[in-house]
Amino acid sequence: MNPFLDRLSASPAFGGWIMLESALGAEHMGRSGYDFLVVDSQHGEVSSSRMLQLFQAAGAAGTPVISRVISPEPYLIMRSLDMGADGVIVPMISTMQQTAEAAAACRYAPDGTRSYGPVRPGAGGVEQANRRVMFMPMIETLEALDNLEEITAVDGVDALFIGPFDLGLLMGISPGEVPRDSQVLAAVERIVAVASKRNIPVGSVAAGEEHARALLERGVSFLSLGSDSTFVQQGATARLALAGRLRSQQSALMEGQVA
């Protein structure tokens, strides 16, 4: 069984996103109790030379680690899996052919075209690796919406991952509007409906609590709740607000002493 699918059985599952190229940050994320973590090579700072350390650190406490690759090229998918990712999220998939090619890159023959070269200890044999890995094409283009039935019919699609912000942009909706936009939310509902015909779980990213609720209400079963980079920024901003409060308390105290 795939460790990520195990976590999904406690649906909904909640994950975190790793954007920063910090093994220490990834370890903190991994030990925070999220059901899964995504290491983001597409939009994160993550370079291929540091990917291995981030997977090791994020997975140190047993959390399943998924790699979002830069684009659907098979060699990027294979490299992430060789470095020990439990699965891949593959962005900008639009057609059945792209889906089939990416799905094949995730599995060794006879199930796919993955080249054999395990490097991580405990990588397991061919059959085990083929069963363990999770392939998740992203649905984030209008063409993918048109081709949903064909994409979900491809063998080896283990889950779908919706990119609401790219979908929104292509629909003419600004990122700030996406969480509440009825057109984007209707697309989410449709994606879940098509995927559920084949028992394929659907995940996505939530920009805050209201967005998370809207996605869960529409049947999304696993969600990233935020990234290390956002958490650092939010934590730093919150602490600075405390500094402001302490400063005004202090000056009120000083004024009291002078009066």
Which CB atom, from 107 or from 211, has the smaller least distance to ligand 3PY?
211
Which pair of tokens denotes residue 197?
Answer: 């015909």
Contact 225, 206 (CB under 8 A): yes
Strand partners, 18: 39
Stretch that binds ligand 3PY, among 76-84, 144-152, 157-165, 189-197 (CB under 6 A): 157-165
Stretch that binds Mg ion, among 123-131, 156-164, 167-175, 233-241 (CB under 5 A): 156-164
Element (H, E) at 162: strand 160-162
Contact 33, 186 (CB under 8 A): no
Is 28 in the active site? no
Helices (H), the chain: 3-8, 23-30, 48-58, 74-82, 96-105, 126-132, 142-146, 148-153, 164-170, 182-196, 209-217, 228-258
Element (H, E) at 90: strand 87-90
Q: For the window 109-128, what string marks contact with ligand 3PY as x by the rule CB under 6 A?
A: --------------------
Least Å distance between CB 46 and ligand 3PY? Answer: 14
Q: Say whether residue 40 binds Mg ion (CB under 5 A).
A: no
Q: Say whether residue 203 binds Mg ion (CB under 5 A).
A: no
Q: Say whether residue 168 binds Mg ion (CB under 5 A).
A: no
Compute the C-alpha angle 87/68/215, nearest 5°: 90
Could you tell which of Mg ion, ligand 3PY, none binds residue 205, using a CB distance below 5 to 8 A set by kind?
ligand 3PY
Of residues 206-235, those binding ligand 3PY (CB under 6 A): none
Q: Say whether residue 84 binds Mg ion (CB under 5 A).
A: no
Contacting residue, 82, 86, 158, 166, with ligand 3PY by CB under 6 A = 166
In the complex, the residues that contact ligand 3PY under the rule CB under 6 A are 140, 163-166, 205
For the annotated catalytic residues, the residue numbers are 43
